Structure 1
Amino acid sequence: MILYKTNEEVELMKISALLVSHTLAEVAKVLKPGMTTLAIDKLANEFILDNQAVPSFYNFNGFPHHIITSVNDVVVHGFPSKEELRDGDIISVDVGTIKNGFHGDHAYTFIIGEVSKEILNLVKTTKDSLFLGIKEAVVGKRIGDIGYAIQVHNENQGFGVVRDLVGHGLGKDMHEDPQVPNYGRKGSGMLLRENLVIAIEPMINMGKKDVFFDDDGWAVRTVDGLPSVHFEHDVCIKKGEALILSDYSPIESAEKLNINLNTSYY
């Protein structure tokens, strides 16, 4: 069932989405080599609770942590752990919050230290493709238009567009209809109507598009061990131009001030 939101509900969802943005900004302030992803999980959980919300992911279908930290060849759903981050790692941090009865859910990929030009290009291309997909998220377009824009931009660079995982509707439940693939044909799929809220989230691999589940049953890895990048925004369908409920600005500001993070792809 497709659940369209009232304008009042959209405003409540924006509060949840922006809390995710500010949580990710707190993470961006402290990321560095030698830090564990469990420490990131603790920081994010405390920040969310301090802002009178709860983490969406904790105990969701048995997920045992508060946020998702996916490093290098982990596409999504990586467990925070005691393993220390190293110079040259890339890490996708995916955060969800519940506030006022609605979910916010989005992600950002950070680069720790120096990486190859190929990885910089992968991060830039994936991030750019998110906004190309968002440009298609308007009344009168179709779900396939979003996926087509993301797919073409990444495949033109030779990158693999993951097929096994997709974006989704968002609201009082974290995963609502419709599914929002990062691939598709122009003019195909469901017609987009006003006040549908969706999470658009390109998951793009440097190499092959294929993935597999790790032994923990959660982490999804690239089959060739090459890096994967994940960006995600919460978006409300509107006439003419999509309304982005989440905000990368505070994340990017914190990222630029952290000498341990690489923003040279901007």
Structure 2
Amino acid sequence: MIQFKTAEEIERIRKAGRVVAACHREIGRRIRPGVTTLDIDRFAEAYMQSCGAKPAQKGYRGYAYATCASVCDVVCHGLPKDVPLREGEIVTIDMVAELDGWLADSAWTYAVGRVNRDMERLMNATKNALYQGIAQAVAGNRLGDVGSAVQAFADRERFAVVEAFIGHGIGRKMHEDPQVLHTGKAGTGRKLKEGMVITIEPIFVTGRPDIAIDADGWTARTFDGSWGAQYEHTVAITGAGPVILTD
């Protein structure tokens, strides 16, 4: 069942979103060769706590960290590790902050030092597709409009969409209805209505979108070793159009 939010509740999610956005900005200043994703995870947890928030991922279904840190061919749910990042790699940091009982979720892919043109293309295409999807998150449109816009951009840029991982509603809980696919047919699916708050979080890969889960039960990586990027915002559906709460 979808939990529709009032304007006041959306503002509470926005406050959590500001913590996430500010933390991402600080992480962007810290990502460089030699830094470990465990360093980043510890920083993110301390930063959220300094803002009066807490990392909602930590403890979720036994998850032990404040962030997910997915490097290169790991496309989602990578575990932070004490392994130095290397020049030319890419890493996605995904985090959820809880502030006064309300949650906001955002993922961002970062270049480690200088990356090659193929990785720049991948990152730019995935980010642009996120905003193409957000532009369709308008009251009266349907979820298929969001997925279709993302998929069309992936097709145009010749990347594949990892369909195994999807967006979702968010509010008091990390994962609420509805499910938000990043592929689909325009004009289909559940109608978007004012008061809905969702995440849009496409993952594009340079090769095939098939993934496997490591023995740790979390880490999702491509079968063929191709690299992936992900960008995510928490978005409110309002009468004035889509409002990004983690910008």
What TM-score does the superposition give when structure 2 sets the normalisation length?
A: 0.98
The 5 Å alignment of 1:220-235 reads 220-235=220-235
State the 4+ residue runs in structure 1 displaced beyond 3 angstroms: none
In structure 2, the partner of 1:245 is 245
Cα-to-partner distance string for 1:121-172 (whole Å, 9 max, x where unaligned): 1100000000000000010000000000001101222211111110000000
Structure 2: gaps (5+ residues): none
Give 1:57-72 correspondences, 5 Å limit: 57-72=57-72
1:116 shift after superposition: 2.0
Q: Distance in 2 between matches of 1:159 and 1:29?
A: 28
Which secondary structure state, in structure 2, belongs to the residue aligned with residue 127 of structure 1? Answer: helix
How many pairs are equivalent? 247
1:150 aligns to what? 150
Q: Name the CA distance, whole Å, in 2 between partners of 1:181 and 1:244.
A: 18
Residue 241 (structure 1) shift = 2.1
Q: Structure 1: 5+ residue runs without aligned partners?
A: 248-266
What SS does structure 2 have at the residue aligned with 1:113? coil
Q: Which amino acid aligns with 1:112?
A: V
Distance 1:158 1:210 in 2: 16
1:82-110 deviations in Å (ceiling 9; x for gaps): 11100001000111111021111101100
Comparing 165-174 with 107-116, greater Cα deviation is found at 107-116
**Residues 89-104 of structure 1 mapped to structure 2, 5 A cutoff:** 89-104=89-104
Amino acid at match of 1:169: G
2:31: which partner in 1? 31
Superposition map of 1:66-215 within 5 A: 66-215=66-215
Deviation per CA, 1:43-99, whole angstroms, max 9, x where unpaired?
A: 110011111111010010111111111000111100001111000010001111110
**Cα distance in 1 between the residues matched to 2:23 and 2:113:** 21
1:228 & 1:94 partners in 2: Cα distance? 14
Equivalent residue number for residue 54 of structure 1: 54
Identity of aligned residues (%): 38
Q: Distance in 1 between matches of 2:187 and 2:29?
A: 41
SS in 2 for 1:168: strand
**In 2: Cα distance, 1:45 partner to 1:114 partner:** 27
2:59 alignment partner AA: N
The CA deviation at 1:209 is: 1.4
Q: SS of the residue aligned with 2:92? A: strand
RMSD: 0.8
Partners of 1:241 and 1:207 lie apart in 2 by 34
For 2:148 and 2:196, how far apart are their aligned partners in 1? 19
Shift of 1:239: 3.0
